[in-house]
Structure 1
Amino acid sequence: MTVDVKSEETQVAEEAMIPREEEEQAPIDKKKTEAEEQEENAGGVPGGSPLPSVVEKCSSFKEESNFTSDLKASERKALSELKSKLEEAILGKNLFRKEVGEEEGGEGEDGEISLWGVPLLSTKGSTDNGGADVVLLKFLRARDFKVADAFEMLKRSLQWRKDSKMDAILGEEVAVELEPAAYMDGADREGHPVCYNIYGVFGDEEMYQRTFGSEEKKERFLRWRVQVMEKGIGKLDLRPGGVSSLLQINDLRNSPGPTKKDLRAATKQAVNLLQDNYPELVARNIFINVPFWYYAIHSLLWPFLTQRTKSKFVFARPARVTETLLKYIPAEQIPFRYGGFKRENDLEFSTQDGAVSEVSVKPGTTETIEIPMEEVGSTVVWDFTVLGWEVNYKEEFVPANEGSYTIIVQKRKKMGAHESPLRNTFLNGERGKVMLTVENVSGKKKRALYRYKIKKCSSSD
C-alpha cells in the first residue's frame, strides 16, 4: 500500500487480508444510484418495451499519460534527472552493490540493464520507443516525483532482482498446487489484464499447512506470488499509450479469518515485496464477496494511505459481485462463476462474437427480448442473465405463421436470487422468433443481459 514513503502497490491482491473500512463502499452505492437514474430517463417508448442497448463502458482507473509531451514541466525535469542519474550509475558501474573481493571500479555487471524486458539505457540503434520512460515514470510516481527517492527505490529493486534471480523466475515451477489461488484471465473494458486472487483456496486446512506450515514453505509462497506478478507484467504494453498496469480481483469467499497468523504474516511480506519492486502496476483493486469480519477490523495502515490510493479500492458484498464487476469488465469477460458469460473451453461463443446487450425491467412490468430466426433450419444459441434475478422467466418460439403452434423452449419458472446465467439453444423448423420473457415481480428495477448467435444451416443439410 502507499504509505508516505512507499509505492502504491500495496494495492496488490495480497492486501485482501488487511481489512479496510466500510466507508469505501459508499462511492459504489452513489455511482449505482446515478446509473439507475440515467437508465430511468433513457430511451424506449412509453408504455412499451425499452430499447436494448450495448452495456455501457464504465471507466476503470484513469492512468496518467506516459507521453513526455503530456507531463508537467516539473515532471519532465524529474524524468530527465532520473535518466541522467541512472545513466551515470550504469556507465560508472555503480548501480549494483559491490560483491566481496570485487575491486572498486571493476567491470562488475552493469552492462545492458533491463527491467521487465525494457532496456533502461538507450543505446545506439535502440528501438525502445519510450519504454524506459514508462518504467521510470512508475518509480517517479511512486515517490511523488522526488528524483533521489525514486532512484534509490529503483536501485534497490534492481539489486533485489539480481540477488533473487528474477529474470529466470518465469521458467521455474515454483508451486504448481497454488495455481488455482491466483491466475490471469481476460481483460477489463480498457484492456488491463485481469488477475484473479482466490483466497478461499487457503480455507482448506491441508492446503493452508502445505503453503504456510514452515518458513521454507512461506518463502516458496512469496516466490510463487512474485511469479504471478511477473506473468501479469508479461501481458502489458510498456510503451507510451500502451496498457501498462493490471486489474486485480480479490475473491474473499471462504477465506481464512484474521486469526490465521501465518497467512497474515506471509501476506504482509508479499505486500512489502510487491510494493517495493512493482510500483504503479495495479490500476485498480476490486475486493468481492467481502465478509463481515473484513469490515469489522480496522487496518493500522489505512490512515496513512493517500486519497489517490484509496480511490483505487472497490469493495462488493456477495450480493453485489456481478453488478460491481460489470462496471469494469465486460460481461463476456467475466467468468461464469461470478455471474458473467465467460465459460472455460467455450465451443459456442468467442471473444469476437459481439458485445452483450442490456434491457432494463422496471418493478411490476414484463419485458420480452425477441431473437428473429428468418432462415429455416438455423440454430440459435443464447446466454441470458438478470442481475439479482427474483423474476419469472420463460423461453418460447413463436412461428411467423399464425396458424402454427408456439413451442415452449423453457416453461415459466420463478428464478431465485442466486441463479446462474442461462444458456440454451433452439433449432427452428419454420420462420419465426425466439422470445425471452422476464416478469419482474420484485420491488426493484432489474437489469437483463443477453447475447445470441445464429448458426445457419449448411447447404449439405
Structure 2
Amino acid sequence: MSGFPGDLNDDQKKTLEEFKTRLTNDKNDLRTKLGLTEDNNNNKHVVLWTVDMEEDSAQRDIVCLKFLRARDFKLEQSYEMFKKCLAWRKEFNIESLSSEQFPDYYAKIGEIYRTDKEGRPVMFNYYCNIDVDTVFKDGVTQFLRWKVAQMESAIAQLAAGGWSQENMVVVHDYKDVSMLGMDKRTKQASRETIQLLQDNYPEMLARKFFINVPWFFEKLYGFFTAFSNERTRKKFIVCGNKTYRKELLQFIDAESLPTKYGGMSTEESNKIECAIIKAKDALRVDLGELQSEQMIEWEFICESMDIGFGIEKAANPAPSSPTSSSDTPTSPGKSRKQAAGNVTVLDIAQHEYNAGSYKVDEAGRYIFVLDNTYSIFNKKSVHYRVAVKEHDSNPVAPAAAPSTTSTTTTTTQSSDPAPSTTTIPETSTTTTTTTAADAAETTTSNQTKEETTTVPSSTPAEATTEPTTTEAPTSEVPSATVTEEVPKTEEETKSEQ
C-alpha cells in the first residue's frame, strides 16, 4: 500500500493510530516545549501547517502520514522526526516569516507560479539569476529563511485548498549555469537547504524538474542528489534544453507556465488547440475573409525544438461551398499545402514559442501557418491559439514593420529570457474548426483556470495572483523587448534537423 490516506494496510493503520495516541498523551509536554501558554483561559494547541494536531481530522491524518512515510512507518523514528520538526520551527522562528521583508533581488531567483493540472502549487527556481556576491554577501542565513518562507507560502496554498492536494511541484532552471569555480557559499547553501527541507518538510514533493541542464549536469546532479534520500530521488526528472517543455506540459497546462517558458495568457477564452505536425509537413489555419485594420493575434508553444511560423494572404477568396480538397478548405479551416498564388505577408521564422499580433493592411483571406517542412525527421507537437479582432478593441503597441510589407507586426523573441505575451480577447471569428481530414492529427483541449492573470504588453510579463502567496516573494520578470524575431541561420536549422 502507498501509505497515503485511503490506501493503508492494517499495519499502517495501526501505526497511524499509535502515532496519534502519542500526540494526545504528549500534548501538554509539547505545549510546554513550544512555549504555548494560556490564552484567554484556553491552552493554545499544537499546530503544524495550519492543522490542529490535537484534534482528530482528515487533515491531521495527512500530516501524520507524511512523517510516517518519510520513515517507512517506523513509529519511533517517525514520531522523533515530528518532535524535532516542531522544535526546529520554534528555534527558526517560523511565525516571524509572515512579516519578514526580503530584498528585491530574491524575486528574480524564485517564485510560486500558479498550479499544475491537478491543482498543486508549482515552485520555480531560476538558478541562472543568482548573483552569489549579492545573495550570499552576509552568508547563507537569509537565503535559507527566504527558502523556508517560499515553502510556507506553498503549503499555505495547500491548506487553503483543504489539503485536497498535499504536495507541490518544483522546477529548477539551470540555463547558463556554470560549474567552473562554483562558489563555496553556493555549495553550503545547497547542502543546508536540502538537509533543512528533507528534515522538516517530509513528503511535500510530488515531482521535481531539472530543466535546461548543461552537458556536465551529471556531475552537478550527483552533487545535489547526494544529500537526498532514495524516495526523493525517484521524484526527480532531468530534462535537456530541447525537451523540457514537453516534460513540463505533461503535468502543467500551457496557461500555467511562466511566459519565459512559452506560457499562454489566462485572459483568452478561446480554447487551446494541440496539433502534431509531421516532418516535412505544415499546418495552415484558414482565418477567412478579413478587413483592413483587423488584428490577427496568436500564441503557441512547441513541446520540443522549434516550429516555423508565418502568415499568408490567399490569392483567392474562400470557397462558397464545401470542397473535398484539403488544399482549399471552407473558411475557417485547416490545410497542409500552400495554394498557388498565396503571398507570405509575415515571413516564416522558427520559434520555440511565440506570442504576438499582425495588423491586416489589405482586405482579403488570410492563413495562419505552422511550418515543419524544414525538418527531415522530427515531428512537432504544438499548442496554439489564434484569433481575429478589431484593431480598436485593444490597441497593440507598434513595432518595426517587416521590410517586405507595410503592415505592423508584434512578436516575441524565443531566445529572450522573459518574452512578453499579448492578451487575446474573445472575438466572433472562430479559427478552430477542422475541415481537412488529413490535417496534422489535430486534437483539442479546453483550458479552464480558477485564477486569472492579465498580462498587458506594457507591464512585466510575469505576475502571480494566488491569494495565499503573501509570505514568500513572487517574481515579476521584466518583459522582453517586443520586436520581430530574426530567423535562424542555415547552420542552426541544419543542427535542428
TM, length-normalised to structure 1 = 0.69
State which drifts further: 349-358 or 133-142.
349-358
What is the deviation of 1:210? Answer: 2.5
AA aligned to 2:355 is: L
Take 1:178 and 1:240, find their aligned partners in 2: how far apart are those partners?
29
What is the deviation of 1:393? Answer: 3.4
Greater fraction of residues in helix: 1
The aligned runs of 1:3-402 (5 Å cut-off) are: 66-67=4-5, 69-90=6-27, 92-94=28-30, 97=33, 111-122=44-55, 129-202=57-130, 207-215=131-139, 218-237=140-159, 242-257=164-179, 259-296=182-219, 299=222, 308-338=231-261, 340-342=262-264, 349-350=265-266, 353=269, 355-371=271-287, 381-388=297-304, 392-396=308-312, 398=314, 399-400=317-318
Take 2:90 and 2:289, find their aligned partners in 1: how far apart are those partners?
62
The aligned runs of 1:421-436 (5 Å cut-off) are: 421-425=354-358, 434-436=367-369
What is the deviation of 1:76? Answer: 1.2
AA aligned to 2:202 is: P
What is the deviation of 1:136? Answer: 1.0
What is the deviation of 1:137? Answer: 1.0
Take 1:193 and 1:176, find their aligned partners in 2: how far apart are those partners?
22
**Aligned partner of residue 279 in structure 2, secondary structure:** coil
What is the deviation of 1:370? Answer: 3.6
Q: Is the 8 A contact 1:184 1:196 kept in 2?
A: yes
AA aligned to 1:357 is: E
Q: Quick one: structure 1 residues 306 and 456, their matched pair in 2 at CA, closer, same or farther if it must change by over 3 Å? A: closer
AA aligned to 1:176 is: D
Unaligned segments of structure 1, at least 5 residues: 1-62, 100-108, 123-127, 343-348
State the identity as a percent: 25
Q: Quick one: structure 1 residues 254 and 364, their matched pair in 2 at CA, closer, same or farther if it must change by over 3 Å? A: closer
Q: Quick one: structure 1 residues 64 and 425, their matched pair in 2 at CA, closer, same or farther if it must change by over 3 Å? A: farther
**What is residue 450 of structure 1 aligned with on the other side?**
384
Take 1:413 and 1:300, find their aligned partners in 2: how far apart are those partners?
43
What is the deviation of 1:293? Answer: 2.6
Take 2:428 and 2:307, find their aligned partners in 1: how far apart are those partners?
34
Take 2:160 and 2:60, find their aligned partners in 1: how far apart are those partners?
8
Take 1:315 and 1:71, find their aligned partners in 2: how far apart are those partners?
31
Q: Quick one: structure 1 residues 301 and 110, their matched pair in 2 at CA, closer, same or farther if it must change by over 3 Å? A: farther
AA aligned to 2:10 is: A
Take 2:211 and 2:241, find their aligned partners in 1: how far apart are those partners?
7
State the aligned residue count: 365
1:411 aligns with 2:346: yes
What is the deviation of 1:115? Answer: 0.7
Q: Is the 8 A contact 2:274 2:381 kept in 1?
A: yes
Q: Is the 8 A contact 2:279 2:375 kept in 1?
A: yes
Q: Is the 8 A contact 1:400 1:433 kept in 2?
A: no
Q: Quick one: structure 1 residues 252 and 375, their matched pair in 2 at CA, closer, same or farther if it must change by over 3 Å? A: same
Take 2:303 and 2:222, find their aligned partners in 1: how far apart are those partners?
32
Q: Quick one: structure 1 residues 64 and 316, their matched pair in 2 at CA, closer, same or farther if it must change by over 3 Å? A: same
Take 2:285 and 2:3, find their aligned partners in 1: how far apart are those partners?
42
What is the deviation of 1:64? Answer: 5.4
- CA deviation profile, 1:158-214 (whole Å, cap 9, x unmatched): 111112221231221033321211101111122111110011122xxxx31222234
- CA deviation profile, 1:2-42 (whole Å, cap 9, x unmatched): xxxxxxxxxxxxxxxxxxxxxxxxxxxxxxxxxxxxxxxxx
Take 1:351 and 1:65, find their aligned partners in 2: how far apart are those partners?
40
Take 1:395 and 1:115, find their aligned partners in 2: how far apart are those partners?
56
- CA deviation profile, 1:330-370 (whole Å, cap 9, x unmatched): 112222212x233xxxxxx4267254221111112232234
Pairwise CA RMSD: 3.6
Q: Is the 8 A contact 2:191 2:224 kept in 1?
A: no
Take 2:303 and 2:103, find their aligned partners in 1: how far apart are those partners?
37
TM, length-normalised to structure 2 = 0.64
What is the deviation of 1:329? Answer: 1.2
AA aligned to 1:209 is: D
Q: Is the 8 A contact 1:130 1:240 kept in 2?
A: no
Higher relative contact order (CA 8 A, sep 6+): 1
AA aligned to 2:195 is: N
Q: Is the 8 A contact 1:141 1:280 kept in 2?
A: yes
What is the deviation of 1:219? Answer: 1.0
Take 2:257 and 2:65, find their aligned partners in 1: how far apart are those partners?
31
Q: Quick one: structure 1 residues 210 and 305, their matched pair in 2 at CA, closer, same or farther if it must change by over 3 Å? A: closer
Q: Quick one: structure 1 residues 401 and 306, their matched pair in 2 at CA, closer, same or farther if it must change by over 3 Å? A: same
What is the deviation of 1:220? Answer: 1.1
Take 2:84 and 2:33, find their aligned partners in 1: how far apart are those partners?
9
Take 1:457 and 1:428, find their aligned partners in 2: how far apart are those partners?
20
**Aligned partner of residue 62 in structure 2, secondary structure:** helix
Q: Is the 8 A contact 2:289 2:364 kept in 1?
A: yes
- CA deviation profile, 1:392-411 (whole Å, cap 9, x unmatched): 43313554367xx9986743
